Amino acid sequence: MTLTPLTQPLPTVFTLPTPLGGELISRVVRPGEAFELKELGLLPRLELSGRSYADLEMIATGAYSPLTGFLGERDYLSVIEHLRLADGTPWSIPITLPVSRENARQYSGRVLLTFGGEAVGTLDVSERYEAHKDFEAREVYRTTDPAHPGVAALNAAGEIYLAGDVTLLEVPRGHFPAHHRTPAEVREVTLARGWRSTVAFQTRNPVHRAHEYLQKVALELVDGLLLHPLVGQTKNDDVPAETRMQSYEVLLGQYYPAGRTLLSVYPAAMRYAGPREAILHALSRRNYGASHFIVGRDHAGVGSYYGSYDAQEIFSAYTPQELGIQILKFEHTFYCQTCGQMVSPRTCPHDASHHLILSGTKVREKLRAGENLPPEFTRPEVAEVLRAAYQLPG
């Protein structure tokens, strides 16, 4: 009888988290299946906004699995009222396609979707219905204040929503082709690297030392980090995506282990829906194959519309089995000058006078003035990228 040496590695088989709904949706036209140009030219045309174009990509590539198209009224109302699709699947933000009342009647059957005048996909219209904007704003954004960027976008959009399945003619790799991966492609990289567990980090800002601290604490628990910055439509005063991507590349190249990190863009538009958007961010990262998701202070928030930890508490609406992704909840972190390191209220005994905390407004003021950001706040290499981008000409 031959014994297997204890040092011999055993064969390992592992799988990534199952996409929401059980399968990863793909509504992207495959090579050889493209529509005839003549057929496309005969269809009514619908020009998409930047947000709707981003939603089209997120649906078609499976990032918004199990959605196969823009929501019908039954799902729309169920998501608003119950944080679930009509069949009970967890979902927090209605993904809808608004059009003006005047134009709504012309859209039936198959519609050609365009962006910047170019054909980008199709919609098979199954339903037209009235948007309940006040109800949607109150429940999704927790306010009807028109100063809220999400509410402002809602109010500016059309009054009628179109529903139906979509197709995407081609995945738009945009300004970051080397980092633009579909959920299926991210999953392929994760499997190839042998990561049994992956933590995803959502950001629309440059990564400062507090973010770095959270990511590296999480990396002590899992195999890999998916740094997944949102590069879709954001507020005008947010740091531009091009600048942020430069800062991420500099940071990851010098301060993170290359084999345990993956920088890949998240092409969704920002809604600033706070707690509701935190759920959407987590569920979509499950579709990208992540097993863990970081939710910190005021995730996806804006102004003072949400409580500091509302985005963590809202996850209690679902069971862990329903979520299918583990939520890592972190308190606010900052540099304590007395402790001499990054800390949180859980680990630091000192009051606010000992802490170095810079608001986004203060950071932008320093950058425009050509001032250096403190190394305790952000890495010098990242600060230099930001300072160069914010220098005013002349």
Mean pLDDT by 10 residues, the chain (394 residues): 39 78 94 64 94 98 98 98 98 98 95 96 98 98 98 98 97 93 98 97 92 96 97 88 95 96 97 98 98 96 95 98 97 95 95 90 82 90 90 56
- Specify the residue for token string 């003006």: 100
Q: How far is CA 80 from CA 85, 135, 311, 382, in A?
A: 9, 8, 16, 39
State the pLDDT at residue 366. Answer: 85
Length of the chain in residues, anyone? 394
- Specify the residue for token string 């507090």: 210
DSSP state of 157: S
Pairing mode, strands 160-168 and 198-203: unpaired
Say which residues have a Cβ less than 8 Å from residue 10's Cβ, sequence separation at least 6: none
Chain Cα centroid distance, residue 365? 27
State the pLDDT at residue 391. Answer: 75
State the pLDDT at residue 63. Answer: 98
Selection from 283, 278, 271 nearest residue 311 by Cα: 278
Active-site residues, by number, are 204-205
How confident is the model over 196-210, as pLDDT tens digits?
A: 999 999 999 899 999
Selection from 122, 98, 154, 109 nearest residue 36 by Cα: 122
The model carries a pTM of 0.93
State the pLDDT at residue 13. Answer: 55
State the pLDDT at residue 372. Answer: 84
Q: Classify residue 145 as left (phi > 0), alpha (psi -120 to 50) or beta.
A: beta
Domain ranges of the chain: 37-168, 183-390
Which CATH number is 37-168 given? 3.10.400.10
Q: Where are the beta strands (DSSP E) in the chain?
A: 45-47, 69-70, 97-99, 109-115, 118-130, 160-168, 198-203, 224-229, 261-263, 292-295, 326-329, 334-336, 341-343, 355-356
Q: What is the rounded CA–CA span in Å between residue 336 and residue 346? A: 13
Assigned CATH class of 183-390 = alpha beta
Structure tokens at 393: 């000409």
DSSP state of 21: T
How confident is the model over 248-270, as pLDDT tens digits?
A: 999 999 999 999 999 999 999 99
